[in-house]
Amino acid sequence: MITFPNAKINLGLYVTGKRDDGFHNIESIFYPVPFRDAFEVIESDHFSFECEGMQVTNNPEDNLCVKAYRLLQTIFDLPPVNMFLLKNIPAGAGLGGGSSDAAFALKALNDLFKLNLSVGILTNYASILGSDCPFFITNYPSYVFGRGELMEAVDIDLTGIYLVIVCPGIHIPTVDAYQNIKSFSTLRIPMPHQVLRDKYSGNQGHNAS
C-alpha cells in the first residue's frame, strides 16, 4: 500500500503560553499543501524500515512511521511489515512532514489490516504520536488550538493563489523553537474562519490537499 503524506503551512501562529505539561498553547490555522513524501507499507515475515531522500534519524525506531506501527502493533497484535519512506519534506521547517508521515502511516495500517478504526479513534492515536499529527488524519484546513491537537474545520480555499515555500537549509527542532520563546502573545485569532473566508471569498473550489 502506497500513500503520499503532504505538508502543511500555518496561516498565522500565536503562542499564548506554556502549559503545566511542558507543552505550549497555540492558536493557528493549518492548511494542507501538495508537497509530499511517499510512504509504502506491506505485510511481511519480518519487520524492516527503509528511508531514502532527506534523512531525519539514524535510528529507525525514532521515526514516527515506525512509532505509528509500534503503537498499533501493541494494541492489535499486528504482523511484521516492511516500510519504505521517501523523504522530500524537510525536517525542522514547520511543515509538519514527520507528523504527516505518522498520520498517513496510521491510516495506511488501518486500511491494510482492515482495522476499521473511525476517524475519531485514529485522531486519538495520532495525538499520542505528536501535537500536529491529528490534523493530518482529516487533512482539511483547520483552526487549531491547545497544543495543536484540538481542531475546528474552517471553510478556507486558497485555490488559485500561488504559494512559494522556501527552505533555507536551516533545521530548527520544534523543542528548541518553543524553548527559546521569551514572551507570549496576548492576542487571539478573532473568528479565524470568518476573517480568512472574507479575505479569500473570491476563490471557490477544492483545497490544495
CA 179 to chain centre: 21
- Candidate list 8, 67, 87, 107, residue with the active-site label: 8
Number of H helices, E strands in the chain: 6, 8
Q: Cβ(47)–Cβ(82) under 8 Å? A: yes
Number of Cβ within 10 Å of residue 37's Cβ equals 23
- Pull the grid cell for residue 68: 505509528
Q: Catalytic: which of 62, 132, 176, 199?
A: 132
Contact 50, 81 (CB under 8 A): no
| Residue owning grid cell 486519538 | 124
Based on the residue annotation, tell me whether 157 is a catalytic residue of this protein. Answer: no
Strand partners, 71: none
Cα distance between residue 68 and residue 193, in whole Å: 31
Q: Which amino acid is at 32?
A: P
**Which H or E element spans position 43?**
strand 38-43
* 132 tagged catalytic: yes
| 15: its cell numbers | 503562542
Distance between CA atoms of 93 and 96, rounded to whole angstroms?
8
State the cell numbers at 8: 502543511
Residues with catalytic annotation?
A: 8, 132
